[in-house]
Structure 1
Amino acid sequence: MSIALFVLRRLGRGILTIWFAVTVTFLLLRLLPGDPALAVASPNMTEEARATLLQQYGLDQPLLTQYVLYLGRLFQGDLGTSFTQSIPVLDVLMERLPWTLLLTATALVLTVVIGIPLGVLAASHKGAFLDRFVQIVGVTGQSLFVPSVGIVLLLVFGLNLGWFPIGGAYTDGVYGGEWYVSVLTHLVLPALSLTLIQLGSYVLTMRATLIDALGDDYVTLAKANGLSPRRILWKHALRNALLPATTLIGLQLGFLVGGAVLTETVFAYPGIGRGIYEAVTQLDFPVLQGAFLLLAVTVVAANTLTDITYGFLDPRVKTS
């Protein structure tokens, strides 16, 4: 398979996935209990004024017509107008997006920086107490529930010890260097919560792939040539073990995005996830649709880029 065809196929799958996500989101939101008209129309309005307002937002149209009009606006880059805030959805999302990017990027970096050494440590001591301990920690991490971890961290380090703030993204009324310190201190608990959730699967994957790499023939040859175990582990085996770990980074982004919705809600962090929670309670369809579209594009783009990158790192993928 040529490189161009390989890339085009991956991009085509990504676009199809985004369309599917947009369609499912549009239909599911219409199944939510409650009347979305209440978000834009006051109960004290006259019927004529109410009908005019619903017509302005397209809520008086049949479902299929609303769907076609929605897709048409999407192709023009128009995500609609928020029911409750009466401002473009894009403005609402762009105000919250930097906080979600900061949270997920921090959690992802911490997961990789901590996960790789732990995985290497467990693989290099296979069968020993240290290996078993790391495996227990990894399995425990996989079974944790995001809100539960967040609530425990809030109770211990926020309320009881008072080491970190218990909500928000920064302290009001501070500027300059103090503002950046405030942002970092508010970031610690949400980022730690997401990291603890993702760390287990990354450590276990890193351990398993590295153990497989250490059993390959080139490792045996390297030992026969007199290379030190440390050099074989870090320079040769780890390089091949990082290929599956690279794929996992892209896949984990999807879990991080999903976990961010719950984490931001627990910590009242003003990102996209918190915005989704607020939009659900207010039946703000345009904001929900825009937020889910943004998250879907982010996850699909990351997975597609990871897939393409892995194809270049391992030529066998392009020919399979």
Structure 2
Amino acid sequence: MTFVLKRCAAFVVALIVQSAAIFVCLRILPGDLAMVVGGTSSTPEQVARIRQQLGLDQPYPVQYWNWLSGILHGDLGTAQLSGASVAGEIADRLQVTLPLALMGLAVALAIGLPLGVLSVTSRSARVRRGLQIAAIVAGSIPALWGGLLLIMLLGRGVGLLGVLPSQGFPVRGWHAFGRALSSLALPALSVGIIAGAEFMRYTRSALLEVRDSDYLAQAMACGMTRAQAVRTVGLRLAAPQIVSVAGLTFAGMLTGVIVVENLFALPGLATLLMDDLGNRDLLAVQSELLVLTAFFLFMGLVVDLVHHALDPRLKAAASGGADGADGVADGTDGARKEGTR
């Protein structure tokens, strides 16, 4: 419980620090929102009146406190150019970005986890070497180039096979479930293949660390092959590292799909952020950046808590006990039962 409270306190402190950094950095940028709202034909008096209405004439500490207090009351502000609620716009755009990140993570796991295991358990040196080279090549492909290759191969109307839509998202959203799902397939593959290559390398590295451990040796002594021991006991031992990578990969996808959303013309959160930034609507941008930052920090908090729950060594360090190996020993107990069948 102490560990959880400390991590939650660190999350709150980090979020406050990040909010201050976002506020300061956006105020350094050139441009005047009041002039953008007023238009090129507005007089200096009109610009001054708009600046007063938006609260931009107040000192920076007052502006920051007004923004932060509004967030604490659930008000993320209003987009000045569209007049829409920032919270509402973020919620609408998350209906695209969040499923895209989830689908990309599913693709990454489907590729990275089995191939990572195969790169350790395969008896063929050529297969192991080939998987290592494939992971390096796929992981080094830029998302833009990878997306273009997938469009040329699978994009409907322009690709060789032409089986999946390559542009846009249904106006009805997820009410047209089939069309919405298919419109996210190519973008999810674009980010998932690249992330899957990285995930395969992390999985391979984690399994190599535990391959020669006493727990796997005990599992093989119970009748299991090395490949079986790696797939059962080894994956259990490497689970904390794999979960950590999966959580941070998901957070990175949600905050890093700007290129993919623009390439496939998806109305996601990254596109909204870039549009507002280009229109100098900094009052909306600061809230959108804070939401992305809060999500990234929250995923880090979740990863830490799950890692702490899965890793018996961290539990033992926190409790000061000597029972840290009990959770790992459960994996060898399961291996013993498997070997005696």
When the two structures are superposed, what TM-score results if normalisation uses the length of structure 1? Answer: 0.91
Change (3 A) 1:128 1:211: same
Q: Is structure 2 residue 85 aligned with structure 1 residue 71?
A: no
Query: What does 1:246-285 align with in structure 2 at a 5 Å threshold?
Result: 246-285=243-282
Q: Give the match's secondary structure for 1:160.
A: coil
Aligned residue for 1:287?
A: 284
Decide whether the 8 Å contact of 1:247 with 1:307 is kept in 2. yes
Change (3 A) 1:36 1:153: farther
| Matches of 2:174 and 2:256, distance apart in 1 | 30
| Matches of 2:165 and 2:36, distance apart in 1 | 33
Aligned residue for 2:4?
A: 7
Flag structure 1 segments of 5+ consecutive residues without an equivalent: none
Deviation, 1:216, is 0.5
| Matches of 1:15 and 1:145, distance apart in 2 | 34
Q: Give the match's secondary structure for 1:144.
A: coil
Aligned length: 314
Equivalent residue letter for 1:113: A
Equivalent residue letter for 1:169: F
| Matches of 1:240 and 1:163, distance apart in 2 | 41
Q: 1:133 aligns with which of 116, 130, 150?
A: 130
Deviation, 1:20, is 2.2
| Mean Cα deviation higher: 308-317 or 42-51 | 42-51
Aligned residue for 2:339?
A: none
Deviation, 1:291, is 1.5
Change (3 A) 1:282 1:215: same
Q: 2:236 aligns with which of 236, 239, 245?
A: 239
Residue identity over aligned pairs, in percent, reads 30
Aligned residue for 2:98?
A: 101
| Mean Cα deviation higher: 292-301 or 232-241 | 232-241
| Matches of 2:123 and 2:248, distance apart in 1 | 26
Q: 1:84 aligns with which of 81, 85, 89?
A: 81
Q: Give the match's secondary structure for 2:256.
A: helix
Flag structure 2 segments of 5+ consecutive residues without an equivalent: 319-341
| Matches of 1:14 and 1:309, distance apart in 2 | 15
Aligned residue for 2:197?
A: 200
The structure with higher relative contact order (CA 8 Å, sep 6+) is 1
Equivalent residue letter for 1:129: R
Decide whether the 8 Å contact of 1:36 with 1:283 is kept in 2. yes
Q: Deviations over 1:259-300 (max 9, x none)?
A: 212211221111101111111111111221121111111111
Decide whether the 8 Å contact of 1:280 with 1:288 is kept in 2. yes
Decide whether the 8 Å contact of 2:146 with 2:190 is kept in 1. yes
Aligned residue for 1:166?
A: 166
CA RMSD of aligned residues (A): 2.1
| Matches of 1:38 and 1:140, distance apart in 2 | 48
Decide whether the 8 Å contact of 1:83 with 1:285 is kept in 2. no
Query: Following superposition, which runs of at least 4 residues in structure 1 exceed 4 angstroms of deviation?
Result: 172-176
Deviation, 1:127, is 7.0
| Matches of 1:175 and 1:298, distance apart in 2 | 23
Q: Deviations over 1:109-150 (max 9, x none)?
A: 121122110011001027711111111121223322222222
Aligned residue for 2:217?
A: 220
Equivalent residue letter for 2:28: L
When the two structures are superposed, what TM-score results if normalisation uses the length of structure 2? Answer: 0.85
| Mean Cα deviation higher: 274-283 or 310-319 | 310-319
Change (3 A) 1:88 1:174: closer
Decide whether the 8 Å contact of 1:89 with 1:287 is kept in 2. yes
| Matches of 2:15 and 2:87, distance apart in 1 | 18
Equivalent residue letter for 2:310: L
Equivalent residue letter for 2:12: I
Deviation, 1:215, is 0.7
Q: Give the match's secondary structure for 1:30.
A: helix
Decide whether the 8 Å contact of 1:253 with 1:299 is kept in 2. no
Change (3 A) 1:126 1:208: farther
Q: 1:145 aligns with which of 142, 147, 153?
A: 142
Q: 1:56 aligns with which of 46, 53, 57?
A: 53
Deviation, 1:225, is 2.6
Decide whether the 8 Å contact of 2:105 with 2:250 is kept in 1. yes
